[in-house]
């Protein structure tokens, strides 16, 4: 069913159309292997729960700006893990703030920035659907492109996603710089969704805020990060927005008016997670081992994997319509995500997530061998 917003039509919620495949896969005698949605399955690391509990006495309202401990931890994480130095994280004009996960921020960013209705948002040709949803909610049009266009007329925002969801494509430094230069030349903000940035396999992803890309400052640039995958904390709804202080401030000022506040105990858990690298590295090793086993089985079954050099997914094709591949996999008791969910350019691929237990990944490997 198509959702309605007054004066606007949202895209269909794609996951509803996958229900027949789920039902067919569930008939497998050994149960379904669900590789469709990238939901973490490991326990949330104990250090997050301990910080959450310790901050549980929180009678007052949380701050939209973020606690000093959180902003300090975020700046340290950006520098340590990504080589990014943000402006004074404790300054009067924020350079980094917490968000209620990353999806909320992605969906609301055009609204938070006050972008003029009737403009156009550029998104990747194969893209996370929420970029389009956020544009529609704000009364904006969407154009899909993977390269800066010659004509910037009417463009009010650019979304980049590297490593990309669904296909795991990583933008090279030259590609990122080209977008940065284009955005600055035309006065268009460039926002990079980097929630998989710590999960590079064949290449090392680079943040758009890195000095090799952005230069000496972050003018016109924003980066979005999330704890959901790297810290197995999707249920905590913890994310970060950082970059150009002028843009971050615009988002922050609207967020505090709307009451978009990360709960104080969750802010404590976010700070604890960002201060600890060991649990992130351990989870990365788990995903890497699953990726190796599943990718080998997919290739041995005669399928091709494109891109997938980073992130939590394999971008798989049998050189046929994606729904035919979905049906074939369902017959094996495996559920994947149709590439058409992510735009017409994905119509001959399916996305297979690494977010399943070792036992379920091994079950998928065995089924693909028959």
pLDDT tens-digit readout, 31-89: 999 999 999 999 999 999 999 999 999 999 999 999 999 999 999 999 999 999 999 99
Whether residue 33 is contained in a domain is answered as yes
Domain boundary among 224, 253, 275: 275
Q: Is 111 in the same domain as 185?
A: yes
Q: Please report, for the domain that includes residue 203, its CATH number.
A: 3.40.640.10
Give helix 264-274 / helix 68-82 axis angle, nearest 10°.
30
Nearest to 34, CA basis, from 364, 342, 331:
364
Position 65 in a domain: yes
Asked if residues 208 and 84 have their Cβ atoms less than 8 Å apart, the reply is no
* pLDDT for position 16: 80
Burial of residue 9, with CB atoms counted within 10 A of its CB: 0-12 exposed, 13-18 middle, 19 or more buried = exposed
Q: Which of 275, 300, 326 is the last residue of a domain?
A: 275
Assigned domain for 191 exists: yes
Which domain covers residue 102, as residue numbers?
57-275
Regions of the chain with pLDDT less than 70: 1-9, 11-12
How far, CA to CA in Å, does 268 sit from each of 67, 76, 243, 258, 273?
Answer: 8, 15, 22, 22, 9
Angle at 42 between CA 294 and CA 71, to 5 degrees: 115
pLDDT above 70 coverage of the chain, percent: 97
pLDDT of residue 346: 97
Q: How far apart are CA 335 and CA 17, in angstroms?
A: 12
26 in a structural domain: yes
Whether residues 253 and 290 fall in one domain: no
pLDDT of the residue at 2 = 41
Residues 337 and 196 in one domain: no
Domain ends where: 218, 248, 275? 275
49 part of a folded domain: no
Is 0.75 surpassed by the pTM of this model?
yes
Classify residue 213: in a domain, yes or no. yes
Q: Are residues 28 and 67 in the same domain?
A: no
Same domain, 229 and 346: no
Look at residue 327 and tell me if it is in a domain.
yes
Domain count, the chain: 2
Same domain, 133 and 247: yes
Q: What is the pLDDT of residue 370?
A: 85
């Amino acid at each position: 069913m198509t959702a309605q917003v007054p004066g606007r039509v949202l895209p269909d919620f794609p996951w509803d159309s996958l229900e027949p495949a789920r039902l067919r896969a569930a008939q497998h005698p050994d149960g379904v292997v669900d590789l469709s949605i990238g939901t973490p399955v490991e326990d949330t690391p104990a250090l997050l729960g301990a910080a959450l509990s310790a901050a549980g006495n929180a009678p007052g309202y949380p701050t939209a700006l973020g606690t000093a401990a959180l902003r300090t931890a975020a700046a340290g994480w950006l520098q340590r893990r990504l080589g990014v130095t943000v402006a004074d994280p404790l300054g009067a004009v924020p350079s980094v703030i917490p968000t209620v996960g990353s999806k909320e921020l992605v969906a609301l960013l055009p609204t938070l920035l006050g972008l003029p209705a009737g403009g156009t948002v550029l998104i990747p040709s194969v893209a996370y659907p929420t970029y389009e949803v956020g544009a529609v909610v704000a009364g904006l049009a969407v154009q899909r492109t993977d390269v800066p266009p010659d004509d910037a007329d009417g463009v009010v925002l650019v979304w980049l996603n590297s490593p990309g969801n669904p296909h795991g494509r990583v933008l090279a430094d030259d590609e990122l710089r080209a977008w940065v230069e284009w955005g600055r030349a035309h006065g268009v903000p460039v926002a990079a969704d980097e929630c998989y940035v710590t999960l590079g396999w064949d290449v090392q992803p680079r943040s758009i805020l890195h000095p090799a890309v952005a230069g000496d400052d972050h003018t016109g640039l924003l980066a979005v990060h999330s704890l959901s995958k790297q810290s197995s904390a999707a249920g905590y709804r913890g994310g970060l927005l950082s970059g150009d202080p002028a843009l971050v401030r615009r988002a922050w000022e609207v967020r505090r008016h709307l009451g978009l506040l990360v709960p104080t105990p969750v802010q404590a858990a976010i700070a604890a997670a960002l201060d600890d690298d060991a649990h992130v590295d351990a989870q990365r090793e788990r995903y890497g081992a699953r990726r190796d086993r599943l990718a080998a089985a997919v290739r041995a079954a005669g399928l091709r994997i494109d891109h997938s050099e980073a992130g939590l997914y394999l971008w798989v094709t049998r050189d046929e319509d994606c729904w035919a591949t979905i049906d074939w996999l369902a017959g094996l008791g495996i559920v994947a995500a149709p590439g058409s969910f992510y735009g017409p350019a994905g119509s001959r691929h399916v996305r297979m997530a690494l977010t399943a237990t070792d036992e379920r990944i091994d079950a998928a490997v065995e089924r693909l061998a028959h």
